[in-house]
Structure 1
Amino acid sequence: MAPMKLDVNLGVEGGYLKSVEGVAKAADDLGFSGLITSETKHDAYLPLAIAANATERLELLTSVAIAFSRSPMETAQTAWDLQSLSDGRLILGLGTQVKAHVTRRFSMPWDKPVARMRDYIGALRAIWESFQSEGPLNYEGEFYRHTLMTPFFNPGPIERPEIPVYIAGVNESLARLAGEVCDGFHVHPFHSPKYIREVVRPAISSGAEKAGRESEEVKLAVPVFAITGADGRQVEKQREAMRQQAAFYASTPTYRTVLEVHGWGEVGERLSTLAREKRWSEMPALITDEMLAEFAVEGEPDEIGDRIRERYSGLVERVALYMPFVPGERDRFWRNLIESVTA
């Protein structure tokens, strides 16, 4: 069994693009496996261009870039250029987002998101094939049609044209799609090992079986709620922060699947009611210590890596802590964590 990989998230504060080079170099030097960007306040792709130039080994992941806010052609071109620039280190992670954001924030169409994502990925691969072969482009799907590619607009072949595609999701439908057509699946930060074993993995296996693939072809990347600190005060502060984060996620009906696996569906309904009534301060109290132990890994700084490896080894291929990485701060902690997780 291959060792797990430990990735690091690029923070969205502190200048963002101005900080990328320093963060990427530091992450590469410490031995992190990959650098992850997300698309919330900023674009997910621009930082990876900077990181690609600043490093030689670090894998570059989007977790996630929003698919439906862009044409497949736009995503295909950007990914192709990043793959070429990084000498094959890009892992393209795509997400559907939700209807309100796609239609009202991006002013783009939304319908049948799973079917649309399947079509989107098919379009991407057809476009990449046209780039690599320098041949005609003739993709006609349910939502996307790409039937024109002239030499003037074709960037041409690259040395490593195979770009892994991951998608993100919570419920079974997108996990099944990952099993059918993807190279990996980004598990939501709000999860438990039991949820991964009983919901995510079986859904991926179902999709893989439908497509005639082996489910092991689909790699899982998991952000980890981690609780650790130099003293009791720091630990308690992190514990309550994770409790609050879990309560926020658990109040969303879409994420209730995670609670239901443990028989806690009624707690999710109560959290949703409190959220609708804007009674935010009352929500964390509904996340008991028993629940928190399922959603987060807790341990001393020098043992948290072992705890993560024990929890996820054999279950997922990549992990990343749900906490900021600042170069020069806690380097000893991060170095020990890398050694433990990837042992």
Structure 2
Amino acid sequence: MRIGTLNLTPDGPAAVRETVLDAGRRGLDAVWANQMPGSWDPLTLLAAAEPGTGPAELGTAVTLTGPRHPVALAAQALTTQAALDGRLTLGVGPGHAPYLTGELGLPFDAPAARTREYLEVLIPLLHGERVTHRGRFLDVDTQLTLPRPVPAPRVLLSALGPRMLEIAGELTDGTVATWVRPDFVRDHLRPALPDTARIVVSVVVGVTTDPDRMLESVAQDFAAVGRLPSYRALLDRSGLRGPEDTVVAGSEEQLAREFARFAEAGATDLVVLDLNPEGRSALDVAATLSSSRVTA
């Protein structure tokens, strides 16, 4: 199982460059960037990484499809791919209605159907193909003509429910999931996807002697997660109170055991969001377990 890290709220490109350099020094397998409402663009942040530094994979987990036309995203993703010398993995997701509709005034009806059409346009464009698409949500007749060939990035889809997982399995290289426990990976994600599909799981992690206090902090800091309909349904399906019940917190030995449980459940990648309140970084633990050192 590959292990990477995520800087959830970086100060800007310089902070991401440092995250990439630090991950390389630690021997981690990947660095991921996320699209937070009203904040930095993750693809642009990753493109700021110094050439030839850091892990072999830099990815988005995730960038939103809702605010951006697939032709625009394809052009930006290929530009970032060229800047990163082919290290990009493009994780995408439709986002959430409170942001897309409530803040941006964009439609969020039929998210699965919209996502399928979006990917049917996006993925061929990434491979240099001409796309002629007449659909329910998109009419596209175009092709990207870059001055030199750029390899298409791998594409992952944020998917939790059956319809989105079906789309992920048919059209992409796998899924990106967050706020899940190993049993959800084992019972819902792994059976729904092809054997070769990647399952990238983002996990909040902390080394601590007081896990209850850490969970209380996460419950407060991430309270909004439990109010988003898709995450609320996920948490309810898993019998969890809130995002705090998905946190991996405790001693280094406990973290190692939980990482192994994710590997055994079928996760191919962990994305570690390090809380690190007491000086001992969870990334130090992750670095000793990255790549083939955590196996099912």
* Larger CA deviation: 104-113 vs 81-90: 104-113
C-alpha distance in 1 between matches for 2:20 and 2:276: 10
State the match for 2:34 in structure 1.
38
- Counterpart of 1:113 (choices 106, 111, 114) is 111
CA distance in 1, matches of 2:111, 2:14: 35
1:138 paired residue among 132, 140, 163: 132
Output the CA distance in 2 between the equivalents of 1:261 and 1:109: 26
Question: CA offsets, 1:8-49, max 9 Å, x none?
Answer: 112424x32232222211111211111111111221111111
Among 169, 189, 194, the alignment partner of 1:179 is: 169
CA RMSD of aligned residues (A): 2.9
Specify the SS of the correspondent of 1:6. strand
- Superposition deviation, residue 243 in structure 1: 4.6
Structure with the higher fraction of residues in helix conformation: 1
**How is 1:72-221 mapped onto 2 (pairs within 5 angstroms)?**
72-129=70-127, 131=128, 136-149=130-143, 154-159=145-150, 161-188=151-178, 190-202=179-191, 204-205=192-193, 215-221=194-200
3-state DSSP of counterpart to 2:77: helix
Q: Deviations over 1:57-99 (max 9, x none)?
A: 4311111111010011110001111112212111111111122
Would the alpha carbon gap of residues 197 and 247 (structure 1) be closer, same or farther in structure 2, given more than 3 Å must change? farther
Q: Which has the larger radius of gyration?
A: 1
> Mind listing any 5+ residue stretches in structure 2 that lack a counterpart?
none
CA gap 1:73/1:296 in 2 versus in 1, 3 angstroms:
same
Letter of the structure 2 residue corresponding to residue 47 of structure 1: L
Structure 1 contact 9–35 (Cα < 8 Å) conserved: yes
Letter in 1 for 2:136: E
Mean Cα deviation higher: 85-94 or 316-325: 316-325
Match of 1:9 in 2: 6
Distance 1:313 1:137, change over 3 A: closer
Residue 18 of structure 2 corresponds to residue 22 of structure 1: yes
Point out the structure with the larger strand share. Answer: 2
Query: Which residue identity is paired with 1:297?
Result: V
Q: Is the 8 A contact 1:52 1:85 kept in 2?
A: no
Q: Which residue of 2 aligns with 1:241?
A: 217
Question: Superposition pairs for residues 225-304 of structure 1, below 5 Å?
Answer: 225-229=204-208, 232-233=209-210, 235-244=211-220, 249-262=225-238, 264=239, 292=245, 295-301=246-252, 303-304=253-254
Q: For each residue in 1:138-175, what CA deviation from the matched residue of structure 2 results, as whole angstroms up to 9, or x when unmatched?
A: 233332222134xxx6214425x232111113332212
Number of aligned residue pairs: give it: 288
In the TM superposition, what whole-angstrom CA distance separates every residue of 1:169-222 from its partner, at most 9, and x where no partner exists? 33322122211211121112x2222222222233x24xxxxxxxxx12221111
| C-alpha distance in 2 between matches for 1:185 and 1:239 | 26
Give the aligned partner of residue 268 of structure 2.
317
CA displacement at 1:225 relative to structure 2: 3.1
Taking the aligned partners of 1:47 and 1:250, their CA distance within structure 2 comes to 28
Unaligned runs of 5+ in 1: 206-214, 272-283
Whether the aligned pair in 2 keeps the contact of 1:168 and 1:187 (CA below 8 Å) is yes
Contact 1:166 1:183 in 2 (8 A): yes
Match of 2:289 in 1: 340
Question: Residue type matched to 2:13 in 1?
Answer: L
Mapped partners of 2:27, 2:5: distance in 1: 10
Contact 1:34 1:58 in 2 (8 A): yes
